[in-house]
């Protein structure tokens, strides 16, 4: 993309506290259009708070943010038309079939030919054979694919996936990863939050680390890896993994807390 192109998402100095708890202390980053950007942070780092601000579900205390050129505070309607948020807890209605879920969302968005939209998405997400089955009978991967398909109705240029694979088994995780890769290949801008380093490493063009309310690093995987010198073991260079970079930056205590036996 050219240097002058407007970023798909721009975040500047965003702050947010819940009562006395400061969660975001001045967050800054840009997401270039058509890229996959991973916001990496431990549980409780403020990832969901930030994506809720970007989706206009929550107001920031300070700073500014824009999506597709629209300011979240001044033009929330235009922002909502440009961004789609799919969270850890799927919006799928289990009683309805996959196709009915899609048709319902298309109707809610006042689109013409909701049936045709549903059929196209079912095909794109390999759900045609299961189209008429109740979504409650779908596997975890199928439900997540349906959830992502629902969020694409109306062709939002920016899609936010909030911890799309948390709680999923490894096979389903790989299915979701493939879906994200396909979205990116079609030019959708993807903002992905994750607490999994390998997920960011695998999917993202750029990775930003959210820690204690600010972005403490933001770069490509190669740039982040350069923050640690390669270890030399008997003349063989070993590049640091993203996990090693992350732990060196945020401190080993950021690792999942495992209680020591008393
Ligand atoms: N509505 C709320 N009221 C009070 N505290 C909240 C609320 N939402 C989130 N928090 C707190 O803000 C912090 C960040 O939460 P969250 O954004 O959900 O983190 P993450 O998504 O990175 O796990 C946590 O300490 C959480 O308990
Ligand atoms: Mg969260």
| For ligand 1, atom 7: residue with the closest CA | 18
Other beta carbons less than 10 A from residue 162's beta carbon: 21
Most confident among 31-35, 170-174, 240-244 (mean pLDDT) = 31-35
| For ligand 1, atom 25: residue with the closest CA | 44
Distance CA 144, CA 168 (A): 9
Question: Which residues, 6+ apart, have CB-to-CB distance to 70 below 8 Å?
Answer: 78, 79, 82
Looking at every residue in the chain, the average pLDDT score rounds to 88
Ligand nearest to C-alpha 21: 1
Q: For the segment 82-126, what is each residue's pLDDT rounded down to a tens digit?
A: 999 887 656 789 999 999 999 999 998 889 999 999 999 999 888
Distance CA 78, CA 103 (A): 23
CATH superfamily of 9-234: P-loop containing nucleotide triphosphate hydrolases (3.40.50.300)
Q: How confident is the model at residue 242 (pLDDT cuts 50, 70, 90)?
A: confident
Q: What pLDDT does residue 243 have?
A: 81
Q: How confident is the model at residue 172 (pLDDT cuts 50, 70, 90)?
A: confident
Beta bridge partners of 11: 29, 65
Could you tell me the distance, in angstroms and rounded to a whole number, from the CA of residue 200 to the centre of ligand 1? 21
Distance CA 240, CA 238 (A): 6
Could you tell me the distance, in angstroms and rounded to a whole number, from the CA of residue 253 to the centre of ligand 1? 19
The domain spans of the chain are 9-234
In ligand 1, the atom with minimum distance to the C-alpha of 163 is 21
What 3-state class would DSSP assign to 139? coil
Q: What pLDDT does residue 5 have?
A: 74
Whether residue 138 has pLDDT greater than 60: yes
- The β-bridge relationship of strands 158-162 and 83-86 is parallel
Q: How confident is the model at residue 3 (pLDDT cuts 50, 70, 90)?
A: very low
Whether residue 150 has pLDDT greater than 60: yes
Other beta carbons less than 10 A from residue 160's beta carbon: 27
The residue to which tokens 């799309």 are assigned: 164
Whether pTM exceeds 0.75: yes
CA-to-CA separations, 46 to 9, 25, 212, 261, in angstroms, rounded: 17, 10, 8, 29
Could you tell me the distance, in angstroms and rounded to a whole number, from the CA of residue 92 to the centre of ligand 2? 19
Indicate if ligand 1 lies below 6 Å from the C-beta of 43.
yes
Indicate if ligand 1 lies below 6 Å from the C-beta of 51.
no
- DSSP-derived letter for residue 97 is B
Whether residue 206 has pLDDT greater than 60: yes
C-beta separation of 222 from 66 below 8 A: no
Listed residue (235, 236, 234, 202) closest to 221, CA to CA? 202
Could you tell me the distance, in angstroms and rounded to a whole number, from the CA of residue 121 to the centre of ligand 1? 33
Q: For the segment 51-64, what is each residue's pLDDT rounded down to a tens digit?
A: 999 999 999 999 99
């Amino acid at each position: 993309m050219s240097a002058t192109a407007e970023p798909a998402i721009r975040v500047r100095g965003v702050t947010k506290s819940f009562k006395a708890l400061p969660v975001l202390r001045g967050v800054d980053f840009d997401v270039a259009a058509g890229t996959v950007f991973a916001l990496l942070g431990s549980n409780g780092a403020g990832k969901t708070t930030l994506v809720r601000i970007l989706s206009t579900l929550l107001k920031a205390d300070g700073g500014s943010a824009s999506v597709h050129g629209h300011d979240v505070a001044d033009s929330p309607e235009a922002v909502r038309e440009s961004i789609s948020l799919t969270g850890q807890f799927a919006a799928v209605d289990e009683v309805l079939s996959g196709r009915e879920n899609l048709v319902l969302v298309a109707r809610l968005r006042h689109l013409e030919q909701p049936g045709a939209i549903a059929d196209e998405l079912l095909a794109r997400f390999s759900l045609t054979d299961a189209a008429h089955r109740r979504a409650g009978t779908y596997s975890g991967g199928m439900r997540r694919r349906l959830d992502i398909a629902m969020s694409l109705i109306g062709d939002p240029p920016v899609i936010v996936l909030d911890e799309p694979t948390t709680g999923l088994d490894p096979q389903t995780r790989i299915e979701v990863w493939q879906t994200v890769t396909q979205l990116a290949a079609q030019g959708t801008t993807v903002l992905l939050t994750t607490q999994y380093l390998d997920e960011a490493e695998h999917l993202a063009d750029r990775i930003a680390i959210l820690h204690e309310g600010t972005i403490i690093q933001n770069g490509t995987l190669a740039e982040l890896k350069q923050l640690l010198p390669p270890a030399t073991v008997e003349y063989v260079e070993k590049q640091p993994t993203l996990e090693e970079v992350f732990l060196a930056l945020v401190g080993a205590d950021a690792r999942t807390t495992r209680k020591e036996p008393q």
